Amino acid sequence: MLLSACLIVRNEELTLSKCLDSLTDVVDEIVLVDTGSTDSTVSIAESYGARVFHYDWDDNFANARNYSLDQAQGDFVLVIDGDEYLDASQRTGLRSFLQTTDAEGIIVSLQNYNGSPPRIVPAVPVSLVRVFRRGHHFQGAIHEQILDSILETGKSLVKYNLTIHHVGYLTEIVHSRNKISRNMKILDEEEVSSEKQIFHDTNKMMEFIRADDFEKCLSLARETYTRLKRQKPESWSHIEARAFIIYIIALKETGNKKEALEISREAFHSFPNYIEIAYRFGESLLGVGKLDEAVKQFNYCRDLGEPNENWLDTQTGFGSYKAAARLAEAWGKLGDDVLARTWYLTAAYENPAVQDSLLPLLYLLQQEDNAAYAGKLESLFSDPMSILLYAEASSILGLPQAPRLLSLVDEDLRHSAYYQRALMVQKMTESGEEAFTSEHYDSGYANYLVGLHLLNRGDETAAQSAFVKSGPAGEQLFRVWTEASQNQLMQCDLQPYIFDLIAMRAENVLARLLPHARDLDEIWLYVKYSPLSPVLTSIDWDGLTGLQCEQNSTRLFRQKNWESAADWLEKAMVHEPTVSKVLIECDIALAHSNKLHVFSVLRQGLLFFPDSEVLKIITQNLGINPESLTKAELYLAGDGEMNPFDAYRKSVLTMPLNVQLAQLHERAGVLTQFIKEQAESQNVNAMRKYIEELQNIITFLRTSLDTEIEAASMTDQVYSYYYRLSVNWFLEPNKVLEDYDDAVAFWESWAQTWKKVPSGIRG
């Protein structure tokens, strides 16, 4: 007998038939060990001719597995579960492969699925041994392993192209079988050796995540991290990588953004080619507002791409559509709507069912009147979930295709919040107020949406009545509304309500609640790229973030209060540089007819954001070519004075080369001191003139190098670093004090070095 399939099962009637169907004509026998089913599992197995055995469950998967292996008669064993099935297109060649191989164990792919119908999310396939020669035994009470037993023989492992699909992590199946509490009980009771402790901990942390208990997950993750740090990093494997990933997720979910950045940066340095770690690092950068770094990181993720196979159980998309959606988010917050639209479009093409990308994308296409793109987009939406999401977004934006798309939504999805929300919007569009006064709604969610509309209209009594009918969600929102009205310091999370607020055009409710939102950063783009975007500039923000300062500056500029707009722009400069700040500063400069300042700001903006499409478009519209704009033109335009660096350079060029270089580096150090003094005095314009002179010196030094020589090339990289630093100072003056000591020490030390070089050499 060639091949035995061995299963351990309990209450698998929902999925067992599909599993056993996939084994037909592949295995010679089916050995099924039942551990206490109370449904029709056993009778289903018997109908397929399985040899059924009963085993008293002892909270140890390895024991049950090994009992099934002891009953097998084939030369090889295929281990499979009742919620798994063999890929139909790959299973047929397994028998002929086993007849010719000398391998002791066969590595196959396990394709896990997460989420809940209709939104099922495939993970990246995991490599593991599921086929092996009879005679081996499992170890481990849970997430049992066979690999050690095979490796002890010293014989070979080979990879075979076979995928086993696993649906047991779908939400309904996890809850129906009470898997979380069962697994936690086993993990709590299992005794493990020190070398298996981190693997054991990661299994336990994953159960906490499935139970949405992120605080307990975080506590264990910190303990595991302490254990992990006792090891040498060069000994770390995919198990330690998994521990890092779970730690980062727990930190993010519990709001520990700064710590998440520290841990994800460390993880990325240790595992730069693990796509999920690279992606989580990008997420952490985004979470603390380091948008420019986040852009670079998500571009890196896309360069890595999707792994074909993994030793980690990770979702798909980190190297493709998820990274694209995050790039859209980063550019959207930076203020480049053109690049945001491009990346949202990329995400939609790579995965049309990305919910968070669709509404912003359609909004941006609508703003640009890109009918051609919209037509191409519709051809992407073929699966039921993507059609539903497209119909909902179209309804919210009032697009003409919305009624037709709603009629195409699958009957099984019409109970979902997406459909009910879209349907209510459509009724509101067609019937106006009658949709809320003439109809009686039985659905709790429909009453909740009615309550939102009434609250936005100012009818609190009627709104409260509708919210009571809707159930806990509506009552909670009304409590949040009431507390926000009475307590200026209260904080709330708006993410659970944001799509409902946008769909119902509840701008008054949003304007009241938005300043109280703890998760303002997470929901900002949902509002910005929606019909409620004017709310962002209608609020008098506290100015706690760069985005808030920018909105205040924009609002005041539109009111032609240019002095106050400039004040808020200066406050915004305390935060990370953005394209928005560059655009606002250019607008204020143009309002004062100061085109020279516009040239200067655009040039620095393009140096810092060379990929920004918006800055390129603005530059072209103003008839400016920053690359051909010389430093002399910047200094000479307007006041007739000579470029101070040109005068300084001419005097320096008469000196010997070593003296030239010493003088230039010394001058750079002096300029750095001037820059610091002006930054401390908050004299931004004077500071920027010194920065531009410093940039001229660095440019001159770089052009004098022969980068074909290795030492000169390395020197050029150093100069490039300090040039980049100066651009950052121009756009974010508070960084000067942070970087000053290092910068001035560099220029002064190099000046002293060149002074020690023997004289006599001329340039």
pLDDT digits (tens, 9 = 90+) for 337-361: 999 999 999 998 898 877 778 899 9
**pLDDT given at position 347:** 93
Please classify residue 733 by burial: count the beta carbons closer than 10 Å to its beta carbon, then call 0-12 exposed, 13-18 middle and 19+ buried.
buried
Q: Is the pLDDT of residue 544 over 70?
A: yes
The stretch 538-561 carries a mean pLDDT of 95
pLDDT band at 629 (very low <50, low <70, confident <90, very high): very low
Q: Is the pLDDT of residue 635 over 50?
A: no
- pLDDT for 43-88, tens place per residue? 999 999 999 999 999 888 889 999 999 999 999 999 999 999 999 9
In the chain, % of residues over pLDDT 90: 57
- Residue-averaged pLDDT of the chain: 86
The stretch 327-334 carries a mean pLDDT of 97
- pLDDT for 215-255, tens place per residue? 999 999 999 999 999 988 888 988 899 999 999 999 999 99
**pLDDT given at position 569:** 94
Closest of 203, 160, 168 to residue 309, by C-alpha: 160
Amino acid, res. 384:
P
- pLDDT for 84-140, tens place per residue? 999 999 999 999 999 999 999 999 988 888 766 655 666 667 788 999 999 999 887
**CA angle (46 as vertex; 43, 50 as ends), nearest 5:** 140
- pLDDT for 138-183, tens place per residue? 887 656 678 888 888 888 889 899 999 988 766 555 555 566 666 6
**pLDDT given at position 518:** 93
Q: Which helix (H) or strand (E) holds 479?
A: helix 472-486
Question: Distance from first CA to last CA of the chain, Å, rounded?
Answer: 86
SS3 sequence of 221-254: HHHHHHHHHCCCHHHCCHHHHHHHHHHHHHHHHC
**pLDDT given at position 699:** 87
Token readout for 131 is 């086929």
User: Lowest-pLDDT range, 258-262, 647-651, 747-751?
Assistant: 647-651
Closest of 615, 647, 670, 722 to residue 334, by C-alpha: 615
313 φ, ψ (degrees, to nearest 5): -85, 100
- pLDDT for 418-442, tens place per residue? 899 999 998 888 888 777 765 667 7
Q: Is the pLDDT of residue 189 over 90?
A: no
Give the C-alpha distances (Å, rounded to integers) separating 657 from 338, 344, 752, 761.
47, 53, 14, 5
- pLDDT for 680-697, tens place per residue? 988 888 899 999 999 989
- pLDDT for 467-522, tens place per residue? 999 999 899 999 999 999 888 889 999 999 999 999 999 999 999 999 999 999 99
Report helix, strand or coil for 354: coil
* 225 contacts 237 by C-beta, under 8 angstroms: no
**This model's pTM is above 0.85:** no
The strand pair at 105-116 and 119-124 is best described as: antiparallel
pLDDT band at 193 (very low <50, low <70, confident <90, very high): low
- Dihedral class, residue 143 (left if φ above 0, else alpha if ψ from -120 to 50, else beta): left
**pLDDT given at position 628:** 47
**CA angle (246 as vertex; 242, 251 as ends), nearest 5:** 150
Length of the chain: 763
- pLDDT for 738-763, tens place per residue? 999 999 999 999 888 888 777 654 44
pLDDT band at 35 (very low <50, low <70, confident <90, very high): very high
Q: Is the pLDDT of residue 594 over 70?
A: yes
**pLDDT given at position 6:** 97
Q: Is the pLDDT of residue 284 over 80?
A: yes
Q: Which helix (H) or strand (E) holds 386?
A: helix 384-396
pLDDT band at 191 (very low <50, low <70, confident <90, very high): low
Amino acid, res. 25:
D
Give dist(CA 499, CA 170) in Å, integer. 25
**pLDDT given at position 580:** 96
pLDDT band at 631 (very low <50, low <70, confident <90, very high): very low
Closest of 587, 694, 584 to residue 648, by C-alpha: 694
Report helix, strand or coil for 121: strand
Give dist(CA 297, CA 286) in Å, integer. 10
Q: Is the pLDDT of residue 640 over 60?
A: no
Q: Is the pLDDT of residue 660 over 90?
A: no
pLDDT band at 652 (very low <50, low <70, confident <90, very high): very low
Report helix, strand or coil for 159: strand
**pLDDT given at position 294:** 97
User: Which residue in the block uniquely carries the two structure tokens 């506590």?
Assistant: 219
Helices (H), 518-623: 520-528, 534-538, 546-558, 562-572, 579-591, 595-608, 613-621
